[in-house]
Chains A and B, each alone.
Chain A
């Protein structure tokens, strides 16, 4: 009986010892922080992500899962050019229409791979929104991204715990096979960002119709008169 208890205690120690060699120990996770900022103005913005963590003896792969509303879009071709020029790795989960207005588009998700880097700047563009008769601008909210961590060197099975869950996501930008990632929950400063897009004034609809039609009729009549006077029939 005593031997059984001794064995149990030894196994317990071994188990705790193993969890101390956990890839992402809880103490280290407290050092992980993420901030999202939006810069520039107008329809073309930059989402600036910065993820900090304290030194650790293995590599840290970071994946930001950013859900984006229908009010904005990312240009996959621009992202491809940026990948060639600066090494930015962003994967979009669906084909994004570059020209449709907001009310004919849907949201999508962008996967931002930070391979060892601590920051990334991702360009995002505003879509045209429905004209409004009450406000000059419309606010588009972009929620904070989900932060996922993984390590190539440390291949211990990830275990969930307080403030963290295990999720599946593509391993790297180029390798689309699924790996297990650790999602860190309850991060500080995760209020998200927002941008304001100017919208047309729908209360002016009659003015715009009348003004446009009058001007085009005036121009048309002027030209017709000139053509009639100076043309040879």
Chain B
């Protein structure tokens, strides 16, 4: 392994260990706790599993029992074990990013730099040291992509099935993965013949293996925990209509129409932009899977009915893969990044005053949410229009 990468990983580990120690101190001595509520939810559910009970006895535990099982050592040994696991996943994600970047043609030095962007991103550091499980999913998604890029399709399918089981959103990658595994449609042939070519042996194998993993795990847990498992792990997320304030542009709409007759129709209408964009993006960028997945996740999060800051990590872990082929100038890139932070700040201020001071800032939060959507769309549009896929870069060098 690269010496520079080793140094980077060690530095990242030290920073995280320091924050973990600080977190223990803060939790014990200050009123404002460092550890996130979610971490307590996970550990309580783990404790219930060890006692032979259902993890769903813990209210607001809306994840797979696998997560509670994985964190069980934390209950038996020390409360900080779970966080150490998430920190380890952060570092593993950086390694996977490095390998993916090198595989896609980046120089080792620039790949190390880009991994640094992930490792020292304050959001990444804060999320895993506070005890959120997002880095676990980042590892699964990145390893799926790495296996696909290096043509290890069975492993990719296994990891993909596991990723979708852990959190629903990677299921949107199924379409671009299917399109990239299917035969390339030829202009000379008709539509029907092209569709038949799509169903290649690779695609069938991928679908079979990932389907087996996904449904196998679900069946096992359904047998163990019954309807609760399906309801909390999946159905809740699909039908969730959180009317409490969050980054989503739909938040206020869902709040004021919560008891109206046509709120169901509205909720369905909210799905349409996501569906349209995801379908078209899958078709357009199927040749570059990491870029396609990045666009998918960014669109999914920005147009979702609920959006919290943890969701940003879902696409931030893929951003280092996109950056090498981006032709944005430094100034424009930094400008867009600053705009993204300004958009968040404009939302966070009225939200703070609403929740902690009792001011009625609902209209401001609504407008800030819409503005954040416009900013996110602008940034995504700029990324799409300044992205040069590998073939275009090869043509340039020819």
Contacts and interface: CB of A to CB of B under 8 A. Distances in A.
Interface of A: 40-44, 77, 81, 95, 97-99, 101, 103, 128, 130-131, 136-137, 196-202, 204-205, 208-209, 211-213, 215-220, 222-224, 226-233
B362 A198 contact: yes
Contact of A219 (B273, B280, B295): B273
A200 B244 contact: no
B256 A201 contact: yes
Nearest to B33: A81
Chain B contact residues (Cβ within 8 angstroms of A): what range? 35 or more
A98 B242 CA distance: 12
A232 B287 contact: yes
Contacts of A199: 360, 362
B283 A211 contact: no
Given A42-B358, A204-B363, A211-B366, 20 more contacts: A41-B357, A43-B354, A77-B37, A99-B60, A99-B242, A137-B358, A197-B358, A205-B256, A209-B257, A212-B250, A213-B269, A219-B303, A219-B377, A223-B384, A226-B381, A227-B281, A227-B284, A228-B280, A230-B385, A230-B387
A98 B59 contact: yes
A212 B44 contact: no
Interface in B234-267: 242-244, 249-250, 252-253, 255-260, 266
A216 B271 CA distance: 11
Contact of B299 (A95, A196, A223): A223
A173 B100 CA distance: 56
A229 B255 contact: no
Contacts of B299: 223
B92 interface: no
A121 to B, nearest CB: 11
B27 to A, nearest CB: 9
Nearest 3 CB-CB pairings of A with B: A231-B284, A219-B377, A198-B360
Contacts of A130: 258-259
Contact of A223 (B252, B256, B377): B377
Given A101-B243, A226-B381, A200 B255 contact: yes
B363 A212 contact: no
A40 B370 CA distance: 30
A202 B384 CA distance: 38
Interface in B336-368: 354-363, 366
Given A229-B385, A231-B281, A198 B354 contact: yes
Most chain B CB within a 10 A radius of its CB, from A44, A81, A196, A220: A220
